[in-house]
């Protein structure tokens, strides 16, 4: 009994001296835990006589109850003390202005917004969206698209090439999203109506060019499609995107290796002031390259040009973003300036208007 009294006094003294809840928990485990001192004494009750058990049993229960209550009381005292210490440090001045909502601070990059706008317009025309690899082979980027072997785009001064692999093949960062024309023809069933947005890379840098930029490729493959369908699709897109039913456009002959005939699309604009105004004035700006898919490209995609024909187009997402929203310098798109994003960015979940 003297040992029980001594254990009680030592434990109560330890509980009273505990300065935090972690220490208090350690005391509880050391006494009332499965391997604690009090629990150990409770286990040996079965080894003593009935007479001794009648005396020691109630004493152990009283000791266990006393320690439990002492721990709970000390825990409550420590909690109140902790609150008294925290309150002066955590005072809130209710007269301060409310912090801005993260939803209000965040902005979508204009390229993200415009890509969503373009996809929404073409989705409304029943086009699917595809994505492809940014690291391409020479075959998909050039050869399958009817580029001759001596074409300037294959040179190091225009294209980012990787080192040769063990097979002597050099991969590259794609210079356009056009390789996906071949991949779409290889994997999709006819009719094909797809748009392919993505990053592209060329060795160029000035106010209207960037080493990394964004393009969107479009492809339609059917048995009876023709250039009139191409003109209608691009006219409807431009009028929806620039929100101008009277938008003047013109189609000029051009040349691209993977289309024949090839065209460039200009829109009417005004350059007289420091900004470009779309839909008025006497100037023209080229925004889209397009044409009927070359028979050699159809063959590369595994299609018979005597049965199928199609049209394709490509546009620079960054450039038409600058044109629509009056951004003077393409390089600002990639500098990460928060002030620029706050000015030109869009609110999250902003729904594109068709």
pLDDT of residue 243: 80
Residue 354 clears pLDDT 70, i.e. is over it: no
Q: What is the mean pLDDT of residues 200-229?
A: 87
Residue 122: CB atoms within 10 Å: 21
Q: Helix (H, G, I), strand (E, B), or coil: what is residue 328?
A: coil
The rounded distance, in Å, linking the Cα atoms of 207 and 166 is: 39
Q: What is the mean pLDDT of residues 290-305?
A: 94
Q: Which residues contact 155 (CB under 8 A, 6 or more apart)?
A: none
| Sequence ranges of the domains in the chain | 2-89, 104-344
Q: What is the mean pLDDT of residues 104-117?
A: 86
DSSP conformational letter for 108 = B
pLDDT of 312-335, one tens digit each?
A: 999 999 888 888 887 877 788 888
The answer, yes or no, to whether the previous bond of 261 is cis (omega within 30 of 0) is yes
Query: What is the overall mean pLDDT for the chain?
Result: 85
Q: Which of 11, 121, 114, 112 is nearest to 60 (CA)?
A: 11
DSSP conformational letter for 92 = -
pLDDT of residue 258: 92
Percentage of the residues of the chain whose pLDDT score is greater than 90:
36
Q: Looking at the domain that runs over 104-344, which CATH code has it been given?
A: 3.30.930.10
- The more confidently predicted of residues 214 and 2 is 214
Four-CA torsion 138, 139, 140, 144, nearest 10 degrees: 130
- The more confidently predicted of residues 92 and 113 is 113
pLDDT grade for 181, boundaries at 50, 70 and 90: very high
pLDDT of 63-98, one tens digit each?
A: 788 888 888 888 888 888 888 888 888 887 888 888
pLDDT of residue 179: 93
pLDDT of residue 304: 94
pLDDT grade for 16, boundaries at 50, 70 and 90: confident
Residue 34 clears pLDDT 70, i.e. is over it: yes
Q: Which of 115, 134, 219 is nearest to 175 (CA)?
A: 134
pLDDT grade for 163, boundaries at 50, 70 and 90: confident
Residue 104 clears pLDDT 80, i.e. is over it: no
- Is the pTM above the cut of 0.75? no
pLDDT grade for 283, boundaries at 50, 70 and 90: confident
H/E element, 317: helix 317-325
Residue 201: CB atoms within 10 Å: 18
- The more confidently predicted of residues 188 and 156 is 188
- The more confidently predicted of residues 254 and 103 is 254
pLDDT of residue 49: 74
The rounded distance, in Å, linking the Cα atoms of 341 and 55 is: 80
């Amino acid at each position: 009994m003297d040992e029980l009294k001594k254990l009680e006094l030592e434990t109560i003294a330890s509980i009273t001296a505990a300065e935090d809840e972690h220490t208090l928990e350690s005391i509880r485990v050391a006494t009332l835990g499965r391997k604690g001192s009090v629990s150990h004494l409770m286990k040996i009750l079965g080894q003593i006589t009935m007479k001794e058990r009648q005396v020691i049993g109630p004493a152990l229960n009283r000791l266990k109850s006393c320690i439990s209550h002492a721990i709970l009381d000390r825990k409550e005292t420590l909690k109140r003390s902790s609150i008294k210490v925290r309150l002066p440090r955590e005072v809130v001045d209710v007269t301060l202005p409310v912090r801005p909502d993260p939803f209000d601070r965040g902005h979508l990059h204009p390229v993200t917004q415009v890509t969503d706008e373009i996809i929404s317009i073409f989705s409304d025309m029943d086009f699917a969206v595809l994505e492809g690899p940014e690291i391409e082979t020479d075959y998909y980027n050039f050869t399958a698209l009817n580029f001759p072997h001596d074409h300037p785009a294959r040179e190091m001064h225009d294209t980012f090439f990787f080192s040769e692999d063990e097979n002597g093949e050099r991969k590259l960062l794609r210079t356009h999203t056009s390789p996906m024309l071949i991949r779409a023809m290889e994997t999709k069933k006819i009719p094909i109506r797809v748009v392919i947005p993505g990053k592209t890379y060329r060795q160029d840098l000035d106010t209207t060019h960037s080493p990394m930029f964004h393009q969107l490729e479009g492809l339609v493959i059917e048995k009876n499609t023709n250039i009139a369908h191409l003109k209608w699709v691009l006219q409807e897109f431009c009028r929806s995107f620039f929100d101008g039913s009277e938008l003047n456009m013109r189609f000029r002959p051009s040349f691209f290796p993977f289309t024949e005939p090839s065209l460039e699309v200009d829109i009417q604009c005004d350059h007289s002031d420091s900004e470009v105004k779309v839909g008025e004035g006497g100037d023209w700006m080229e925004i889209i390259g397009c044409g009927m898919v070359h028979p050699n490209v159809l063959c590369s995609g595994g299609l018979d040009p005597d049965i199928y024909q199609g049209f394709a187009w490509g546009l620079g997402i960054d450039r038409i973003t600058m044109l629509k929203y009056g951004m003077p310098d393409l390089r600002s798109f990639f500098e990460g300036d928060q002030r620029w994003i706050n000015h030109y960015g869009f609110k999250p979940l902003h729904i594109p208007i068709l």
